[in-house]
Amino acid sequence: MLPSVDWRTAASCSRAFIRGGPRMSPEGALDVVTDLRRHADHAIELVADYTGLTPTVQARVEVVDRVRWSHINITGLRRLLSGLGADEDRDVSNAAAKVTGVQAGAVLAFLSSRVLGQFETFSTDTGRLLFVAPNIVEVERRLRLPTREFRLWIAVHEATHLMQFTAVPWMRDYFHGLIGTFFAATESEESSASQLGRAVRRALSAARGDEPDSSTDVMDAVTSAEQREAIGRIQALMTLLEGHAESVMDGVGADHIEHVALLRRRFDRRRAHPGALQRFLRQLLGLDAKLRQYAAGRRFVDHVVAERGPAGFNRIWEGPEHLPSEAEIERPEDWVARVLSDADATVRHGL
């Protein structure tokens, strides 16, 4: 059953909850926008050369603020649900739809201050590459990072996602199909407010450090077994895509960014040491799972490239049947044995 969401409530709550970004003069803000656009164009060229992937469609590149990022994602989510069969004309003024709208707005407001960049796939037919300027400036100031190098490094990560969705012809439809499978799955009768309450309590415990290994989040509490199976397939795909982007950003960085080791060290420290409020929200929203995706996916990509070279790894883009399962992500040698043959061994240069 598709969720009923009052999108106007979501948008207004998101705007109300979004906090201001770092102080910049109008001239300084314009310089940041211009600089990020330039780095994005350069990053797309570098990633194409490094990966051997060539886009088949042209996606827009936008440098946005937090409110604009939230608006684009609301538009994308609304378009996604409409495409999956949600009735845009039905009455969403009921209390449940408004509550869901408040929840969606609050989550987007939180994420709007954390996301540095995103390849957003739902709001347009080609997708669009977004850079959230205030967040990038805030991080580079807080971590005292070399501005030009950090912006290019982040741009390479996001440009890799652009390649994944625009150079691999089946990827976007496949990803959207997985999302559709999730929403089509039967809802559990056990999904309840009490389960959600338990998820909140465990998230609070994790934030205090009482349950550092807890994996319970909102999705665990309010989804059925069928939906969790669909989530598993989505997570396997996202782990691959995030790990690939992490590998490429450091691979490109080794040749084009002098202080890439410094960037990696300080950026990973930022990810690993959030404050108590950040720990609570990351646990509640399942964002810790995303952080684990970076590491597991990176290990998978690096293993395959070391074993079979870039051309061997690129066999992964030939069709959905070549994607690794969650188990294969943890044991990349099993994926190599299933998908690749000895003839796939190749010279190891680039990714």
Residue-wise pLDDT tens digits, 106-152: 889 988 998 999 999 999 999 999 999 999 999 999 999 999 999 99
Give residue 81's identity as a one-letter amino acid code: L
Which CATH code of 1.10.3720.10, 3.40.50.2000, 1.10.10.1100, 1.20.150.30 fits the domain covering 1-168?
A: 1.20.150.30
pLDDT score for 204 = 45
For the record, the structure tokens of 197 come out as 């309450």
pLDDT score for 293 = 67
Q: For the whole model, what pTM was predicted?
A: 0.83
One digit per residue, the tens of pLDDT, for the chain of length 351 reads: 556 788 999 999 999 999 888 999 999 999 999 999 999 999 999 999 999 999 988 999 999 999 999 999 999 989 988 877 665 545 555 777 888 888 889 889 988 998 999 999 999 999 999 999 999 999 999 999 999 999 999 999 999 999 999 999 999 999 999 888 877 775 544 444 444 444 445 544 544 455 544 444 555 555 667 777 777 888 889 889 999 999 999 999 999 999 999 999 998 887 665 454 444 444 544 545 555 667 889 999 999 999 998 889 999 999 999 999 989 999 999 999 999 864 444 444 445
Domain ranges, ordered by start, for the chain:
1-168, 170-351
Strands 117-120 and 128-132 turn out to be antiparallel
pLDDT score for 277 = 44
pLDDT score for 221 = 53
Find the DSSP H helices in the chain: 7-17, 26-51, 66-83, 95-112, 133-142, 147-166, 171-184, 193-208, 218-222, 225-256, 260-272, 276-285, 287-313, 326-330, 332-339
- What is residue 209's DSSP assignment? T
Identify whether the C-beta of residue 305 lies closer than 8 Å to the C-beta of residue 240. no
